[in-house]
């Protein structure tokens, strides 16, 4: 734009200088020379007004085009922003829902695992208790059988050789009976 304006100004000044030089160098009388100068000045003034009008018209056209482009770009930017906001909102909502779903799944899994451990603990406790009771009963039976067999052996043996073992067997027998009576309570 600055180059065009400089060109037009140079053209006007150059044209004026050429016209003045042509008039001054032409062999005419003063009156004719003044009339020619006046006509040339009027022509130059008209050309200057024409160039000014042309420049104003082109400036208005360029301004209008720039405004249209700015509005178009503004609308496109707004649409892009709206699309981006909608897309980011959708992505945010999707991520939020997925996070909530995962949280629920983790809570449910943790609850299920806790329940399974509780059930397993109860089952193991019951199994251990039952096994311990069965083992204790078998041990009592074995001890009782051992005591019975020992009594038979002691009764069959002469009294001299067994007093010490007999005392031990009697003591063990009393302890077993005491444990049996405590368990029955």
pLDDT tens for residues 18-51?
A: 877 776 776 767 787 778 778 888 888 888 888 8
Q: Could you give the CA distance from residue 83 to residue 87 in angstroms, rounded to a whole number?
A: 6
pTM, 2 dp: 0.35
The CB density around residue 109, as the number of other CB atoms within 10 Å, is 10
Q: Which two tokens stand for residue 102?
A: 């995962």
Q: Could you give the CA distance from residue 67 to residue 57 in angstroms, rounded to a whole number?
A: 15
**Contact, 102 vs 108, CB < 8 A?**
no
The CB density around residue 16, as the number of other CB atoms within 10 Å, is 16
3-class DSSP state of 142: helix
What is residue 162's predicted lDDT score, i.e. its pLDDT?
52
What is residue 2's predicted lDDT score, i.e. its pLDDT?
52
Report the mean per-residue pLDDT for the chain. Answer: 77
What is residue 5's predicted lDDT score, i.e. its pLDDT?
65
pLDDT tens for residues 123-175?
A: 777 777 777 778 878 877 887 777 777 777 666 655 555 556 666 777 777 77
CA 90 from chain centre, in angstroms, equals 13
Q: Could you give the CA distance from residue 159 to residue 161 in angstroms, rounded to a whole number?
A: 6
Band of the pLDDT at 101, cuts 50, 70, 90? confident
Q: Could you give the CA distance from residue 163 to residue 154 in angstroms, rounded to a whole number?
A: 9
Q: Could you give the CA distance from residue 118 to residue 124 in angstroms, rounded to a whole number?
A: 10
The CB density around residue 74, as the number of other CB atoms within 10 Å, is 10
What is residue 92's predicted lDDT score, i.e. its pLDDT?
82
The mean-pLDDT minimum among 8-17, 82-91, 174-183 falls in 174-183
Q: Could you give the CA distance from residue 35 to residue 32 in angstroms, rounded to a whole number?
A: 5
Q: How many residues are listed for the chain in this entry?
A: 185
**Contact, 147 vs 172, CB < 8 A?**
yes
Q: Could you give the CA distance from residue 59 to residue 1 in angstroms, rounded to a whole number?
A: 9
Helix axes 30-156 and 163-184, enclosed angle (nearest 10):
130
């Amino acid at each position: 734009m600055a180059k065009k304006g400089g060109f037009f100004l140079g053209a006007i000044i150059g044209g004026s200088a050429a016209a003045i030089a042509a008039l001054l160098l032409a062999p005419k009388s003063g009156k004719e020379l003044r009339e020619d100068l006046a006509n040339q000045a009027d022509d130059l003034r008209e050309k200057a007004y024409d160039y000014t009008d042309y420049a104003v018209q082109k400036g208005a056209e360029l301004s209008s085009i720039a405004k249209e482009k700015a509005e178009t770009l503004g609308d496109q930017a707004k649409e892009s922003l709206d699309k981006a906001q909608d897309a980011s909102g959708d992505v945010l909502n999707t991520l939020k829902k997925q996070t909530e779903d995962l949280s629920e799944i983790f809570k449910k899994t943790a609850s299920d695992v806790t329940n399974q451990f509780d059930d397993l603990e109860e089952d193991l406790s019951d199994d251990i208790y039952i096994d311990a009771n069965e083992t204790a009963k078998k041990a009592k039976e074995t001890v009782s059988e051992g005591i019975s067999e020992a009594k038979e052996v002691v009764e069959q043996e002469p009294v001299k050789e067994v007093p010490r073992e007999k005392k031990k067997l009697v003591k063990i027998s009393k302890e077993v009976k005491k444990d049996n009576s405590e368990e029955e309570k």
